[in-house]
Amino acid sequence: MASGSSYNCARLGQKFFENIAKVKTSFEYSSEFNANQERVINKDVLYLFISQSGETYDTKCALDLVKKKEGHSFALVNNNNSYIFNNAEFKMNIEAGPEKSIAATKSFTGGVLCLWLMALNIAQNKGIDIKEYLTGVQNIKKDTEDVIKNTENIDKAAEILSGLKSFPLVGYSYNYVIAKEGALKIKETSYIDVNAYPTGEFLHGHTAILNENSVILEIFSHTTGEFERKTLEKIRKDFNPKIVAVCDTEDVLGAVSTLSGDVCKEPLFVKFKKFENEITTMLSSVIILQLLALNIAQRLGRNVDKPTGLNKVVGES
């Protein structure tokens, strides 16, 4: 259970637990969990609560509901002096340091890394071989710092996107969840109507928003499968939008001709270094979207420390 950016963190965690540790996992908004006061709390289920502050009101209420019905609770928060941390049966501190901004950044990436480590630990305890996930893990700090310093075309991408009133953001699997978080970051800091879609699902009705001036922000990597490649190719060929791609490879978007024979618009690649480790690739995409959101907001003259109409939803200290 979680809200806002923590909910997107939970969605990634669900994929980690199911794909790596083979543990059945579901995710739910804290507010929606609270809406069903009559739900049965299963004693064989661990209810995990994620909160940046540890004081998020609707997540606190969800925790209280589980405790009242004697369910098992686990807190993943970035504040060990908080209600959720102190009242959960099990707990883990993200230890990302105080998140002073309203728009969560380091607490989100820290939370994602913690859930990934938890999934690996569960898998290891079940006898699952986790060696493939550990390649280059010891270099995450250095590698992500390299991404921050050396990623190409963030400024150019921000220049294009800051001139729009709305645009879609698409990704597949892990990248769809990252797209959800990126859309939230841009929306809450720049007030641009950005909506995220699974790459394949975007073809089912959502392409109606495209026109000759359309721009699509895409996330993909060198691990992109053939299905997604064909989907991205179809979007580009059929609708010819301007594509801004956060990626570690340009091979996914080759030269494609439209049905009329015209060459498609040239993509802009916000390209970062290719990593063999999946978690580093994911965190790189997240960080780039955070930097892109900041750049867009600054170009528009927004106050990123105090976004209009946005406050942390927390309880009393």
Give tens-digit pLDDT for 35-86.
Answer: 987 889 999 999 999 999 999 999 999 999 999 999 999 999 999 999 999 9
- Rounded Cα–Cα distance for residues 192 and 317 (Å): 32
Quote the pLDDT of residue 212: 64
CB 265 within 8 A of CB 271: no
- Pick the range with the lowest mean pLDDT from 102-116, 145-159, 205-219, 239-253: 205-219
**Full-model pTM:** 0.89
| Band of residue 156 on the pLDDT scale cut at 50, 70, 90 | very high
As a whole number of Å, the end-to-end CA separation of the chain is 21
Quote the pLDDT of residue 313: 47
| Band of residue 204 on the pLDDT scale cut at 50, 70, 90 | confident
Query: What is the phi/psi pair of residue 133, to 5°?
Result: -85, -10
- Checking if the pLDDT of 1 tops 80, the result is yes
- Checking if the pLDDT of 24 tops 50, the result is yes
Domains of the chain, start order: 4-134 (3.40.50.10490), 146-299 (3.40.50.10490)
Query: What is the phi/psi pair of residue 151, to 5°?
Result: -65, 135
